[in-house]
Amino acid sequence: MEYSFISLLKKDFKMMLSSKFLLLIVASLILYSLYINLVYIKIDQDIYPVYLLDPEESIQNASSQIIRVDNIKELQSRTSDGYAVGIDATGLEPEIIMVSSGLDSMDNIRTAYAYSLLSPGQSTPAEVIGQNSKEMKNRREITSEFLFFELAAVGFLGLASALFKEKHMGVIRVHGVMPVSKSLFIFSKLVLFLLTDLAFAFLLTIINLGLEKGISVLPAVLVQTILLSLIMALLGFLCAVRLPDFKQFSLLYLVLAIFITTPVFLVGQTSITWNWVNYNPMYHLFMAIKNAYFGMPTDEPIYYIVCVVSIVSLFMLAYKALTHEMAKEG
């Protein structure tokens, strides 16, 4: 049995090499890391610039961050980008001049910020949450997103494409009349793709969070990687065995990417709030990875129970689908 497993593993590794999947993984790792280090951590916008029109210089103790302008035309011109905020202090009460961002909440924040700069001494000090610098927060955030994407989309596709090849070549049927267990046939693929995903998660984390910060979150990240990798690999296996051709599989892949994963990113990374997203299992898996990267791993037993039950159920379904495929006509 041990020898059979090694044979299966070796064969699956050769299949993986010939499909250039490892190359894709390495390319993804390089691309993600370059994007994080060269682009993402540098794209944060500066805080809203605030312009003040106060020809009488009636406001004496305004913050040094305020930029004074000479006339109303200049004020209007400087605030025409929908981002900067202007204060017209020519009247009795200072008046805010700005182009709306389109979001009331955002406009209110801009207004409050501009007013706070008029009398900086009276500002309430902000409560500091966590110990991350802005750059580290960005690194953790984007690394968790890339890992989730890689496991959910690329891992799913990788196993399915390898299996489609075997299905197309008809060799799955040959295993049905050989002294090899169907469970081992599935298991060897899972182990191989899991090891690849774990190596990917390890490298992505260390490269982008650094050795010290990376190692501190790695155990929790790897636990979440194991769960998501197994679930996605089994889903990929099931789809590849049950669906008749790659065209239908591609359609399903598109549905998964657009309708299941996109809302997860939107809710998880922006200010959008959709309560129904709680019913999307991918949201919980994404948040678990994100929380692991922020050093707050999910500790709810129900989450882990549901994950394990899902993996066992998917394995049983994959076993049944494989048995059915082996009995098909040529």
Tell me which residues touch another protein (CB under 8 A). Answer: 3-4, 7, 10-11, 14-15, 18, 165-166, 169-171, 173-174, 176-180, 326-327, 329-330
Query: 3 vs 279, which CB is nearer to another protein?
Result: 3
**How near is the Cβ of 9 to another protein at its closest, in Å?**
11
Query: 121 vs 179, which CB is nearer to another protein?
Result: 179
**How near is the Cβ of 6 to another protein at its closest, in Å?**
8
Query: 73 vs 168, which CB is nearer to another protein?
Result: 168
**How near is the Cβ of 168 to another protein at its closest, in Å?**
9
Q: What are the C-alpha distances in Å from 222 to residues 79, 195, 209, 280?
A: 47, 11, 14, 22
Query: 102 vs 330, which CB is nearer to another protein?
Result: 330
**How near is the Cβ of 164 to another protein at its closest, in Å?**
13
**How near is the Cβ of 13 to another protein at its closest, in Å?**
12
Distance (Å, rounded) from C-alpha 157 to C-alpha 128? 41
**How near is the Cβ of 233 to another protein at its closest, in Å?**
20
**How near is the Cβ of 11 to another protein at its closest, in Å?**
5
Query: 173 vs 242, which CB is nearer to another protein?
Result: 173
Q: Nearest CA to 36 among 207, 203, 200, 198?
A: 207
Query: 68 vs 165, which CB is nearer to another protein?
Result: 165
Distance (Å, rounded) from C-alpha 64 to C-alpha 310? 58
Distance (Å, rounded) from C-alpha 231 to C-alpha 308? 9
Query: 162 vs 314, which CB is nearer to another protein?
Result: 162
Query: 169 vs 309, which CB is nearer to another protein?
Result: 169
Main-chain dihedrals φ then ψ at residue 214, nearest 5 degrees: -65, -50
Distance (Å, rounded) from C-alpha 266 to C-alpha 277? 10
**How near is the Cβ of 228 to another protein at its closest, in Å?**
29
Distance (Å, rounded) from C-alpha 285 to C-alpha 155? 15
